[in-house]
Every structure is written in C-alpha cells, then in structure tokens.
Amino acid sequence: MDQYRRPLAGVTINTVGDGVDELDLALLDALHVNPQASFEDLGRVLDVSSVTAARRWRRLASTGRAWVSSAIGPRMPVKAALFGAECEPGSAPSVADEFAARPQVFSVNITTGKDNIYALLVAADQPLLSELIVDVLPAVTGLVRVQCALITELFSGTRWRLGGLSSGQVRAVTPDPATNAQAHEFDQFDRELFLALQRNGRLSWRDLATAVGQSEAVVRRRIALLTRTGLLAFRTDFARVEAGWLTGVALKMGVTGSPLASVGRTLVQYPETRFCAATVGAGAANLFVTMQLHKLSALDAVISRLIAEYPDVAVLDTRVVLRSVKSWGRLLGPDGRAHEIVPVDLWAPATS
C-alpha cells in the first residue's frame, strides 16, 4: 500500500536519503485541503494504511518540513498590515530577527530591492496595530526608512495546493461546510486554545485538554463552536524548496478599472499564489501578492495571464525573496525548514 506515486508535472522532487517524495506531497496536499483530516481518512484517500500516513506525517513534522497550526477564522475581527523597511547595509538579518521575535509579526522575508524587508502584522485591534507600526517596529536598530499599508481584505492565506491529488481525491478529503452557529465573543479560554494549537494544530483531544487544563468534552465543544462561527481555522505549511517551489516573489499591484475583489479572487485560484490581500496607504498600490514559483522565469507567464484577463492591472513593484525568516509563527532556517516557533498572538501587548 506504500507504493502510491503520482508524478507531478513540472516539479523536481528530492528523493535522496530522507527527502520528500510524491506520497509526501500527496499527504501534504490532502492536509492543505483539510488540516484536521484523520490518519484513517488520509490513508483511505491516498490508498495507504493509516499507519503509513501517520508515520509519513510524523517524519515531515519532526524534521521541520511541515506543520499544522491554528489560524484566524474568516469571521475573526482583526487588524492587519504590510510593513516594509529599508535596512542599513549588512543589518537586514538582525532586523529580520528582531521583527520575527514579535508575536504579532506572523511573516518576515528578506528581499531584493531598496526596501529589503517586508513583514506581515496582525493585531486584535487598531490601537495595538498602530502601536506596533508607529512606536515599536521603527525603533529597531538598523533601519533607514519604513513604510506601511493597512490590509483591508484578505483573499488568501490558509489554503495552498501542490497538485499532488486528483480531483476525486480532493473531493474525498474536503470537509463538510461549516453550518451557521450562534454568535460567540472570543474569550481568554479561546485564546489559550488558539495558542496551544499554534504549536501543533493536530494535537489529540487529550493533549489539547491537558495543555489548557480543561476536560476533553469541554475542549471538543469549544473547538466545534469556534470553527462553526468562523473564528478559528487551521492551516498546513511546508518547506517549499523541498517540494520544488524554489523561488518566492512579492508583488505590489495597482488595480484601477476592475473591481479589486474580483482580481483578488482570480489570483487566489492561481496555483502559484500564496498570499493575496487588498491594501490601502501605499500610494497607487492596492493589492499585495506573494507567489511561489518553480523558477523565476515563470513569473512573466503568470503576469501575462492576469493582464490578459484584467488589462488595467499594473505591476508596480516586484521583489524576489532571498530568505524567508518567519512564516505564520515558524522561524525558518536557510533550508526553509521550521526550527523554532514564536506563536502568533494577536492579543499580546505590543511592547512585551
């Protein structure tokens, strides 16, 4: 049953030693569709045993290649921003590390260009976000200039496809849509659950209950409520280089004649798109997009495809990611693997 191999077009897979193979990618793809899928369900969809599915996942997670964590649900009231910085020569790594140490800074990348760091921020309310933008981050040693834009709408950020599953397998692993539930205000217990699941989004009910000091029944009910109300979601991440996605780019776009939301929804359907958000406060740029490519030369075809559909979209700035330092709370090594975690905590004090 461990012989499932589905070749992935255009992807070079490292299969040497303990590298990632096609079964690993199919497993990751299934967990991108449904981060909470049981190993029994994963095994059935991938035509392997549940033991094999569990063993493969433990290997990926224990080596920092992949991880599942809690994420902000679509109805969670939060504030977010894109923060860019120009650094003194030689100071970009230390500045990036300072940014990454902040629990509200969920992503940090060092890029080409004059403004050679960008960070993505999230906070529980506008005063907290403003304190980070105005007082905390600009005070980091090594900065020459900073700029920011507020994120007004998020089109993508928790779902990512690798092309490792057939359409039938995708349907088989897709969870049932959430049903409407009573309104719920996020409280301290919910925050404790969110932070525990930041470290491991696939904790067993028993381990999660132990982590927050509640019974399994209480934890089950609350997680069900949070997911039904759209306050809590889950996301799967992976070391992209090992899966053949070698190059990251960050784009600022200006959308004028077309509805911004329409362009954003189109972009998130592209397999290359990793993050896409509407922004305000950055001049003519009102859409920020990050993409992962098999090779840098593939970017032209992606942009041409978008402009063919939306001729009034202008690409105003393009940066190539030289080093990803942090991705949704995970601190990354040069190989893209997670080696430590600073849990995303949008409620933490800005100055802590």
pLDDT in tens, 244-297: 778 999 999 999 988 999 999 999 989 889 999 999 998 899 999 999 998 999
pLDDT at 242: 74
pLDDT at 16: 33
Q: What is the dihedral of CA 7, 8, 10, 14, to 10 degrees?
A: -80
Return the structure tokens found at 27. 């497993």
Do residues 132 and 150 lie in contact, with contact meaning Cβ atoms separated by under 8 Å?
no
Do residues 313 and 254 lie in contact, with contact meaning Cβ atoms separated by under 8 Å?
yes
Return per-residue pLDDT of the chain as tens, 352 residues.
333 333 333 333 343 345 788 899 899 999 999 999 999 999 999 999 999 999 999 999 999 999 999 999 988 999 999 999 999 999 999 999 999 999 999 999 999 999 999 999 999 999 999 999 999 999 999 999 999 999 999 997 556 667 778 888 988 998 877 666 678 889 999 999 999 999 999 999 999 999 999 999 999 999 999 999 999 999 999 887 776 778 999 999 999 988 999 999 999 989 889 999 999 998 899 999 999 998 999 999 999 999 999 999 999 999 999 999 999 999 999 889 999 999 999 999 998 6
Q: How far apart are CA 320 and CA 153, in angstroms?
A: 24
Q: In the chain, which ranges are E strands? A: 66-72, 79-87, 105-111, 117-123, 143-156, 232-238, 247-255, 273-282, 285-293, 313-327, 330-332, 338-341
pLDDT at 157: 53
Q: How far apart are CA 34 and CA 348, in angstroms?
A: 29
pLDDT at 156: 75
**Structure confidence by residue, pLDDT tens digits, 61-103:** 999 999 999 999 988 999 999 999 999 999 999 999 999 999 9
Paired with 143 in beta bridges are: 87
pLDDT at 240: 79
Q: In 294-335, which ranges are E strands? A: 313-327, 330-332
Helix and strand numbers (H, E) in the chain are: 11, 12
Do residues 250 and 111 lie in contact, with contact meaning Cβ atoms separated by under 8 Å?
yes
